[in-house]
A = this chain, B = another copy of it.
Amino acid sequence: MDLATLIGLLGVVGVLVGAIFTGEGPASQFVSIPSLLIVFGGTVMATLIKFPLGAVFGGFKVGLRTLLAKSDKPELLISVSVELAAVARKEGLLALDGREMSNPFLEKGVQLLVDGTENDVVSRLLANDIDQMIERHERGESIFRAIGEVAPAMGMIGTLVGLIQMLSNMSDPKSIGPAMAVALLTTLYGAVLANAFALPLADKLAARSNEERMLKNMILESVNCIQSGMNPRIMQELLSAYLPGSKRDLADDSDGKR
């Protein structure tokens, strides 16, 4: 898990716990097992209706793996690719055979070149891989996003159930306040589950997936460049456009002004 996710998750919990403990009344008034069951149980069940069983677990697994994975640094990948291109120009594509690479996607692309696979078949194979990776990632993201949509609705349903029970039995005016407090608990649970956990995690998954897509597109372009025997200097220039400004200077000194 990257640092930001960890800090964010701990921080959000800290902010909520702080808010509860600095306020009036015991913290125990914020815990209600039936309310937890309505919001969490209802959300899990509705999510099961929304997706195939395999997709729910698969989505969680893809999600966790994506959150925990470390992605390669683009500037390193560029310098490796440019080096490969230089070797291939001088000694031919076969000279790349058997090279170890840290990135399996780049390795696969280069291996296809070495095998003498046709030009557009290579592009098609790699592009297919990218498309399928995007689809897998989107499935993981959509599970979290679905939770983020269902949880507030379940919170509202729980609050409505509580309000109806309270309104039908208003014999003791003193009990109205606490009963409403309990009814509002499910709305609170739903809002926290959605806005502090599910939706931000879905966004992080989207950001990671985006990063990886950019990286793989860059590798696809590198492989095309290697195959076409492009001038390494041009290739460096071409690929450095994938880098954010600050890193471009490291990889490419000639574009210092930007």
Interface residue ranges, A against B (CB under 8 Å): 2-5, 7-9, 11-12, 14-16, 18-20, 22-25, 29-30, 34, 37-38, 41-42, 44-53, 55-56, 58, 62, 104, 108, 117, 121, 124-125, 128-129, 131-132, 135-136, 146, 150, 153-154, 156-158, 160-170, 177-181, 184-185, 187-188, 191-192, 194-197, 200-201, 203-204, 207-208, 211, 214, 234, 237-238, 241-246, 255, 257-258
How far apart sit A165 and B242, CA to CA, in the bound complex (Å)? 51
Residue of B nearest to A158 (CB): B19
Beyond A25-B168, A131-B241, A167-B177, 7 extra complex contacts between A and B, CB < 8 Å: A8-B46, A9-B45, A12-B42, A16-B157, A24-B169, A128-B241, A132-B243
How far apart sit A62 and B246, CA to CA, in the bound complex (Å)? 11
Q: A45-B12, A177-B168 are in contact. Are A207 and B153 (CB under 8 A)?
A: no
Asked if B211 contacts A49 (CB within 8 A), the reply is: no
Q: Which of these, B38, B128, B195, B258, contacts A153 with CB under 8 Å?
A: B195
Q: Which of these, B29, B132, B154, B179, contacts A241 with CB under 8 Å?
A: B132
Q: A129 — which chain B residues lie within 8 A by C-beta? A: 241
Q: A48 — which chain B residues lie within 8 A by C-beta? A: 4-5, 7-8, 11
Q: A157-B16, A258-B104 are in contact. Are A49 and B8 (CB under 8 A)?
A: yes
Residue of B nearest to A221 (CB): B128
Residue of B nearest to A34 (CB): B22
